[in-house]
Chain A
Amino acid sequence: MNEISILMHMLSNKTNLYQIGATKRDILHTLNVKNKNKSGYFQNLITNLSKYIEPLGLQIRYNPINSHWFISYDSDISDLISANPFDNKPRLAATLFCTLVICLKNHEGISPITEIEKIRKKKNILEDLKELEQKGYLEIEKDLNSIKLTPLIGYQLDIEKLFVKLALKIKE
């Protein structure tokens, strides 16, 4: 048992639907790292584990919503269709897309539902949002006025890649 094994365990550990992997602070605390150059040590750990698991078709990822590091299958070799939770549901995916853009624009990932309605330009948005809540992507506040993203979307979706794709699309 060494640091790499412990790190592998921490990054592949699923506490619940919204908490998979571990934060940098958790990892350094568990490994009892007290060096001055903690960040450099952490970077080395992540790089080394990444080299180990790459031949297995695995990659280390970061969830910007809850600052957790975790492991995902390499997108080049994994079945993207099965990874897509909105297969044949473009309407729901589009509502999630709009919600994501609005939430990430606002602080703390909270967004008024009226703002999503305004940009989505569709009726019965609340139904979509309720379905997204059932799937675990967001929480609707009791007063039905606003929603908050859960960390789940940060795990399942490569947000950075999405925004680069969006930026390139706009450039077209």
Chain B
Amino acid sequence: MIVNDITEVLNNRIRDIQKKILSGKVNLLDLELVPLFDELKDSLTVHNLEKSSETYKNACFLLNKKFDELRSMLSSLESEKQFLNYLNSNPSDLELYNLLNECWRKIFTIDAISLDFLELSQIRLGIDRGGPITIKHLHKAKIKDKFLLEIPKHKFTEKMMKFYNSILKKLPCSLEDIFEDYTEQEIIYENFVYLLHLLQLGKIKYLKETNVIYL
């Protein structure tokens, strides 16, 4: 296959370079590896992934070697001393100027961004968060009979005022007169509670001596 041939060509080239390096014919630092990687990238298809990855591994080996060479070269230079020696050799202003060229860079800053918004977001992001919430099941209390929580149909005040309006015509009268129409103990108790509240609120008054409720 043609595709396989390309990766094979690249593999052969890598092997050839390695031989030349070992024999001292080629210095890795002078060797341009970018075209090799470009060719490898262009030859990559879904059909030759396996073979290309092997070639890529071999190419990376060369690249690592080149990095090692560069590192050892830099350390062998005793950089500081070498740099000073170079400067002592009286290079021209233009030469130094050219060395600085291509090393300049333009800084990217954002001035128009909403700092308030971002700082608020920073604070929000920085808030300590606890662990995930765990839901605990409640323990059921054991009861013998069915338990029903009865909710009154009307609000307490409404019912109290309804009771108040119903006794207005009777007043003044004795305490017994107020409850004479009621027979059920539960209702009497309920109304008695309303009566106590009405007394506390001052809507009605009670004279203990005569047992009379009046306005």
- A: residues with CB less than 8 A from B are 1, 3, 5-6, 9, 12-14, 20, 30-32, 58, 61, 70-73, 75, 78-80, 82-86, 90-91, 93-94, 96-98, 101, 105, 119, 121, 155-159, 161-167, 169-171
Interface of B is mostly: helix
Decide: A121 and B126 in contact? CB cutoff 8 A. Answer: no
Closest CB pairs A-B (n = 6): A90-B97, A94-B96, A1-B121, A94-B93, A90-B93, A14-B109
Is B122 within 8 A of A83, CB to CB? no
A73-B107, A159-B103, A166-B83 given. 19 additional CB < 8 A pairs? A1-B118, A9-B118, A14-B107, A32-B127, A82-B106, A84-B101, A94-B93, A96-B100, A98-B96, A157-B104, A161-B102, A162-B99, A162-B100, A162-B103, A163-B79, A166-B86, A169-B99, A170-B77, A171-B29
When distances are taken between beta carbons in the complex, the residues of chain A under 8 Å from B108 are 12, 58, 70-73
Dominant SS among interface residues on chain A: helix
Complex Cα spacing A9 to B120, Å: 12
Of the candidates B79, B88, B93, the one whose C-beta lies within 8 Å of that of A93 is B93
Among B92, B107, B111: residue with most chain A CB under 10 A: B107
What does the 1/0 interface line of B157-176 toward A look like (CB < 8 Å)? 00000000000000000000
The distance in angstroms between the C-alpha atoms of A80 and B87, with both chains bound, is: 25
> Within 8 Å of chain A (Cβ to Cβ): is B80?
yes
Q: Is the CB of B73 within 8 A of A167?
A: yes
Of B92, B105, B118, which is in contact with the most chain A CB atoms at under 10 Å from its CB? B105
